[in-house]
Amino acid sequence: MLGQILIHVLFASALTATGFYAFGLRGNAQAIQFGRMLFRITAIGIIIAFLGILWLVFNHRFEYHYIWNYSSKELQAWFLFAAGYAGQEGSFMLWTMWVALLGVALSAFGKRKGNEPEIMVFYSLIMSFLLLLLVIKNPFAFVWETFAKEGVAEGFVPQNGKGLNPLLHNVWITIHPPILFTGFAAMSAPFALAMAGLLKRDYQAWVKHALPWTLYATAILGFGIMLGGFWAYETLGWGGFWAWDPVENSSLIPWLVSAALVHTMLIQKKTGGLVKTNVVLSSLAFILVLYSTFLTRSGVLGDTSVHSFVDPGMFAYIMLIAFMSTFLLLALIIMYKRKDDLLFPSANFSMQSREFLLSMGSALLLGSAIIVFIGTSWPLLAELIHQPKVAIDPAFYNSTHLPLVIAIMGFNAISLIARWNGKKIITQYSSLILPLVLTLAGTIASIIMGVTDPLYILLTFAAWFALIINLELAFKVFRARFSSAGAYLSHAGIALLMIGVVWTSKYSVMQHAQLIQGVPTKVLGYTLTYKGKERIEKEFADREKYRFHIEVEKDGIVSIVAPMLFWSDFNKRQSAFLEPGIDWSFGRDVYVSPKATGETGGIASLVLSKDQKVIFPTDSSRSIRFLAFDMSGMRSGPDSSGKIYPSAIVRLYRNNDSIEISLRAGMNMQTTQITAEPVTLPNSTQRLSFAKLLAKKGDLANSQIEIAFEDTSKPTPPKKEVFTVEVSIKPLINLVWLGVILMVTGFFVSIARHKKDLL
C-alpha cells in the first residue's frame, strides 16, 4: 500500500514541479527554486521506489502482482535484479528513473546557462506523464487487486512466482534493457532544449548546448540496440542479429532520426543553416521514442511480432496515445507561434561543400527512418483501411535499404574530403590515390573471397572507401587532438559494420545435420562429432536443462561448442527452449543451433493407427496392418501384480498369404508401463511385440499402437543418441560487433570534444 501511495505522491510532485517551472518562465526566481527542489525530491523518490521494487523481488514478496509475474524463488541473484525491470511496470519505472537522474543534471545545466525554467517545464512534464503511466500500471499493486474479478481473496499470497521467460535467462538481460532505456531517457534532453530555444527565441545557441546531449543519446541508444542484436545472436538460436521485427524497428527509427540530427546540428553550428530542420528533428526523435513505446507496450502489434506484447488495458492504451499526442501538439503549437522567427532564408549550400554533402547523408538517414516507420506501422495502417493485419516481409527492408546504404557510405566518404563552404570537393587529387588503391584492393579481395552480387560489390567498395578515408583522417588528427577523431572513428565503425553485414547477410551458408553420438559427420567442410549431453542446473526443480557437447574440427584445429535445450515450467514444458553453441573466431563463426533429439539403433518400432498398413522395417517382404484392440483380457481387472492385459489384433502379409495374430502386453495400472510379450512368427526369425499404447482420450478404440520389430538372426544395433542441429558459417560477423564498438567509442570521443558546451 505504501508503494502505491508513493507513486501517486511522486506523480503529484512532478506535476507540481512542472507548474512551478511554468511560473518561473515569467522570471519568478522563487518558483524556479521550488520547481528545482520538487524535481530533485521526485528524483530521489523514484530511486527509492525502484529500490523498493528490487527489495520486494529479492525478498520474494509474491503478494505483489508484478513480483509474482516476473520473479520466482529459483532465479539467481542477477536474474532477480533483472526481474525488477523485465515487465511493463518495471521497465516504465526504469525509464522514469533514468529520466529523473538525467533531469537533475539537465536542471543544473540549465541553471548555468540561464534557461532552466524553459528547459525543465518540458522535461518535468515528460516525467509527469511517465509517473502517470506508473499510477495506471502500478508495480506495487497486489495480486488480489489484479485478479479481483477472478475471485482471489484479499491477503492471498502465492507460494512462488511465475519467473522470467527462460529466453531472458542470459547475462544480457542485466545489460541491454538498462542501456536501451537510458537512450530513451536521453532523447528527452534535445527535445527539451529545442523547445527552450524556441521559447527564448534563441535559435542558434541551443544547438551548441544540445549537441553533447544528442551525441550521448545517439551513442547510448545505438549501443543498446546492437546489444539487443548480439543478445538475439547469442541466445535465440535463429542465427542472426536483426530480423526487422516491429520491436527492433521501433527503437531503430528514433536512432536513425537522432543520427541525422547530429549531422544537421554540426551543420548549423558551423554555418548557421538548417535552423528549422534541427528544431523539427529534435522534436521528432523524442516523439518517435514515445511512438516506439506505444507500439511495444500497447499490444497493438502483438500478433505481428515474435516478441511478447502485453495488452496494458484500455486506460493505459489511451494514456500512451495521449502522452505521444500531447508532446506532438506542444511542439507544433510552439513552432507555429515562432513561425515568423523561423522563416529564415533557406541555406544556400554549394553542392560541392561539406555541409551540402552532410545534408544529403542526413536526408538518406531520414529516408531509411521513413521506410522503417512505414513498414513497422503497416499492420496498423492496414487495419485502418480494412486490409489484412500482417507484418511486412524482411525482404522489403533489405531490398529498399541496399541502395540507401550504398549512397550513405558514398556521401560519408566524399563529405569528409570536401571543405566547409567549399566550391570544390577535391583540391588535391593526388591525396586520393592511396585510399582508392586500398579500396580497390579490399574490393577485389572481397570478390575473390566470394562477393559476386553487383549491388553487394558496390556496397563493399563504398564501405571500404568510407573506412579508409575515415581511418586516414582519424590517424592525422589523433596526434594533434585526440577528441577530434571521434566522428572519424564512428564513421569507420559503421563502415566496418557494413562490411560485416555484407558477408553475414549474403554469404552465410547453412546445413541441417543429424549427429549420431560418437560418429564424426562432415558438415560445410568441418567435422562435427557429438560427444554427449550433460544435465545442468539440477538444483532447480522448475526446469530440465541439458548442454550438448559437440567437437568441431577443421585442419587439425579442434574446439568444443555446447548448444543447449531445456524444458521449463514457464510454458508447462510444452516445447523446448534452445540456445545455440558458437565457435567464435575473427574470420568466421561456426553457429550450431539445436533442433531436436532422438535415438537410432536398438529395436526398430513403428506407430500405427487403426487400419494402417506398413512394411516391416526388418523385412521388406512382409507388411502389417493394425486391425483393432482386444480388451477381453482386461475385463476381469488387474491380476495380483496389478496388471491388465490388452491385446492388439494385427494382420500380417507376405506374398499372397496373410495371417491374423494377437499381440498381448501387460500394463501396470498405476504406472501405465507396458511389459511386452513378444511373438515369433512361424518359420521365421521375425519377432513382434506390443511396445506402447498411445491412448486417444475420449476414443480409446481408435488409439494408436507402437509395435516393435526384431530379426533374431541379426544382432540388435546398439542404441545411440541423435542430436539434430542446424549448422551455419557466419563469415566476418565479428566485424559487425567491432564496428558497433568503434562507432560508440567515436560518439563518446566526440562528446569529450564538445564537453566545454556542457560547462
- Across 515-537, b (16+ Cβ under 10 Å) vs e yields bbbeeebebeebebbbeebeeeb
Cβ neighbours for 537, distance < 8 A, ≥ 6 positions apart: 543, 545
Query: What is the DSSP code (8-state) at residue 698?
Result: T
253/743 Cα distance (integer angstroms): 18
Closest to 170 in 3D by CA, of 248, 91, 237, 79: 79
- pLDDT for 219 equals 94
| Beta-bridge mates of residue 565 | 546, 578
- pLDDT for 569 equals 86
**Same domain, residue pair 586 and 616:** no
- pLDDT for 599 equals 83
- The ranges of the chain with pLDDT < 70 are 299-316, 344-347, 423-430, 633-642, 670-672, 759
User: What are the two backbone dihedrals, phi and then psi, of residue 418, each rounded to the nearest 5 degrees?
Assistant: -90, 165
| Beta-bridge mates of residue 708 | 605, 689
Of the candidates 363, 394, 425, which is a domain's last residue? 394
* Strands lying side by side in the sheet with 679-680: 604-608, 704-711, 686-694, 679-680
**Same domain, residue pair 631 and 587:** no
**Same domain, residue pair 575 and 638:** no
Closest to 276 in 3D by CA, of 365, 359, 186: 359
405 assigned to some structural domain: no
**Same domain, residue pair 516 and 645:** no
658/301 Cα distance (integer angstroms): 59
- Cell numbers standing for residue 614: 506398413
H helices of 485-631, in order, are: 486-507
Would you say 692 and 671 are in contact if contact means Cβ atoms under 8 Å apart?
no
- pLDDT for 154 equals 86
- pLDDT for 576 equals 87
- pLDDT for 623 equals 95
448 assigned to some structural domain: no
407 assigned to some structural domain: no
E strand spans, 359-483:
none
618 assigned to some structural domain: yes
Give the 3-state secondary structure of residue 221: helix
**Same domain, residue pair 597 and 562:** yes
- Strand 613-615, strand 604-608: pairing: unpaired
**Same domain, residue pair 572 and 686:** no
Q: How many CA atoms lie within 13 A of 286 on its CB side?
A: 31
State percent of the chain over pLDDT 70: 94
558/552 Cα distance (integer angstroms): 6
List, as own/partner pairs, every contact residues 528-537 make where C-beta atoms lie below 8 angstroms and the sequence separation is at least 24, other chains included. Answer: 528/552, 528/553, 528/592, 528/725, 528/727, 529/553, 530/721, 530/723, 531/560, 532/721, 533/721, 533/723, 536/564
- pLDDT for 361 equals 94
279 assigned to some structural domain: yes
Residue range 454-501, pLDDT digits in tens: 999 999 999 999 999 999 989 888 777 777 888 999 999 999 999 999
Per the structure, the count of domains in the chain is 4
Of the candidates 372, 394, 416, which is a domain's last residue? 394
Query: What is the DSSP code (8-state) at residue 308?
Result: -
Q: Which domain holds residue 227?
A: 182-394
**Same domain, residue pair 596 and 618:** no
Of the candidates 123, 146, 169, which is a domain's last residue? 169
Closest to 266 in 3D by CA, of 221, 210, 219: 210
510/520 Cα distance (integer angstroms): 18
**Same domain, residue pair 294 and 209:** yes
**Same domain, residue pair 265 and 369:** yes
Dmax over CA atoms of the chain, in Å, equals 109
Residue count of the chain, please give it.
759
Closest to 413 in 3D by CA, of 435, 434, 383: 435
Closest to 651 in 3D by CA, of 684, 693, 608: 608
**Same domain, residue pair 23 and 155:** yes
**Same domain, residue pair 592 and 620:** no
**Same domain, residue pair 288 and 339:** yes
- pLDDT for 312 equals 57
411 assigned to some structural domain: no
Q: What is the chain's alpha carbon radius of gyration, rounded to the nearest angstrom?
A: 33
Query: What is the DSSP code (8-state) at residue 235?
Result: I
Which CATH number characterizes residue 678's domain? 2.60.98
335 assigned to some structural domain: yes
284 assigned to some structural domain: yes
- pLDDT for 575 equals 85
